Amino acid sequence: MKLNTYLSLAAIAIAATATGALAESGATLKTVKERGKLICTGHNGSYPGMTELDDRGNWAGFDVDLCRALATAIFGTHESHLDIVPTSWAQRWPSIQSGEVDAVIKSTGWTLNRDTEIGLQFSRPYMLGSVNYMAPVELGAKTPQDLDGGTLCLQSGTTYERYAVSHAASMGYEIGMVPFEKTEEMKAAFMAGRCDAILEWDLQLAVFKALELPNPDDYAIIPAPVAAEPLAIAMRQGDDNWVDIANWTLSVLVAAEEYGITSANVDEMKANPPTPEVAKMLGATPGFGTVLGLEDDFGYNIIKVIGNYAEIWDRNVGEGSVYKLPRGVNALLRDGGINYPLVID
């Protein structure tokens, strides 16, 4: 696409000219505090589960909750301290580079090109975009290997095709490819039973299953991931403090889940912290926030206002939503996933 070429060239050119004005450590936090508002990316429309709008035009979704968590970390609340500006995919990089937004939280994958040439810095991944198969329950497939000898409906020319080929090769099963031009065609073929499985980001599969398949219970997402794309918060390069704040905000969410702290019991936890770590994280003892340039109780504020990782997941994409996406690889380490908090010492 000509436009995309133009845009990535523009983004790189901007990054090149903007490196002179490289964000220095602490600059973003200072700007945000002076402004009294965090400016975060929304969507130009809707990206189900991650960024959508309720009937009253309020933003909702996993990405939106992370924006709120970040604003809450800084201001103690996101009410009137957060502006979510509608942002298109193509607009993400110029927006962050020009300072129009403070962080890109927009289901964005962490890639080499973005990290280097476009001049961005990424937080730790907040979600693995796990790529999974979905097949009719009656096939009885529990693992990808069970699809051996079957067929896969695919959109041709996408990365999913590559994932499927290499996964099948390395895991020793064979699956026939039935390529289609468009996603809609692929989905229609799958619904018509012209192939045994489809391959997609599991959230997209969940959306498809919950909203488009006539009998959602007749289909199952096969849990074992075929590939994964790490989604992370993108920021301007050079502001280490800002990256720290993003990382520790994310870590608080995961740690709270790990320690059993929820928005419901956080007050009690703060009053009677079970461990010194929890005490520090919730601001019962000092030292957690100041090192980041925040208040010591920012961890408490996040949990109190937004909830922990499990609550965010559940509300937006999990059981509490229409999508009912299982945690899968995004579960805590102890539950068989890869999610873990950083260590507070």
Partner 1 sequence: MTDMTHPIPRNSRLEQLRHRFLRTPLDIAVTAASLLLALFVGWKLLDWAVLSAVWTSPDGLSQPCRDASGACWAVIEARWRLILFGVFPYAEQWRAAVATAALILAGGLSCLPLFWSVIRQALLWIAAFALFMVFMHGGVFGLSSVPPAQWGGLALTLFFFVAVVIVGMPLSICLALMRRSDLPVIRGTAIILIDGVRALPLVTILFTAALILPFVLPGWLQGDKIWRVIAGFALFFAAYQAEVLRSGIQALPRGQEEAAKALGMGYFHRITRVVLPQAFRNALPPTINQLVITLMETSLIVIIGFFDLMASGNAAYGTGEWSFAYVEVYAFIALIYGVFVFSLSRYGRYLERRLRVGSS
Distance of alpha carbon 28 from alpha carbon 241, whole angstroms: 8
Residue 47 in the binding site for partner 1 (CB under 8 A): yes
Residue appearing with tokens 């507070």: 344
98, 166, 265, 272: which one binds partner 1 (CB under 8 A): 98
- 264 vs 322 by CB, closer to partner 1: 322
Interacting positions 277-336 with partner 1 (CB under 8 A): 321-323
Return the half-sphere exposure (C-beta side, CA atoms, 13 A cut-off) of residue 105: 31
Interface with partner 1: number of residues (CB under 8 A): 45
Q: Which position among 8, 12, 14, 117 is part of the footprint of partner 1 (CB under 8 A)?
A: 14
The answer to the question of residue 107 lying near partner 1 (CB under 8 A) is no
Distance (Å, rounded) from C-alpha 314 to C-alpha 292? 29
Rounded CA-CA distance 102/96 in Å is 6
Q: Are strands 127-136 and 175-180 parallel, antiparallel or unpaired?
A: unpaired
Q: Is 4 one of the binding residues for partner 1 (CB under 8 A)? A: no
7 is an interface residue for partner 1 by CB under 8 A? yes
What does the alpha-carbon distance between residue 286 and residue 292 come to, in Å, rounded to a whole number? 12
CA atoms of 59 and 54, how far apart (whole Å): 7
User: Rounded distance, CA 331 to CA 345, Å?
Assistant: 24
Binding mask 54-83 for partner 1 (x = CB under 8 A): xxxxxxx----------------------x
Q: Is 36 among the residues that bind partner 1 (CB under 8 A)?
A: no
Residues in contact with partner 1, shown as a per-residue x/- string from 149 to 188 under the rule CB under 8 A: ----------------------------------------
Is 3 a binder of partner 1 (CB under 8 A)? Answer: yes
Q: Are 324 and 318 in contact (CB under 8 A)?
A: yes
Binding to partner 1 by residue 215, rule CB under 8 A?
Answer: no
Toward partner 1, which CB reaches closer, 45 or 176?
Answer: 45
Nearest approach in angstroms of CB 49 to partner 1 is: 7
For residue 283, report the phi and psi dihedrals to the nearest 5 degrees: 85, 10
Least distance in angstroms from the C-beta of 91 to partner 1: 5
- Please say whether the dihedral angle defined by the alpha carbons of residues 79, 81, 86 and 90, taken in this order, is positive or negative: negative
Q: What are phi and psi of 136, to 5 degrees?
A: -60, 140
Which residues make up the interface to partner 1 (CB under 8 A)? 2-3, 6-7, 10, 14, 17-18, 42-49, 52-60, 83-88, 90-91, 94-95, 97-98, 100, 207, 210-212, 321-323
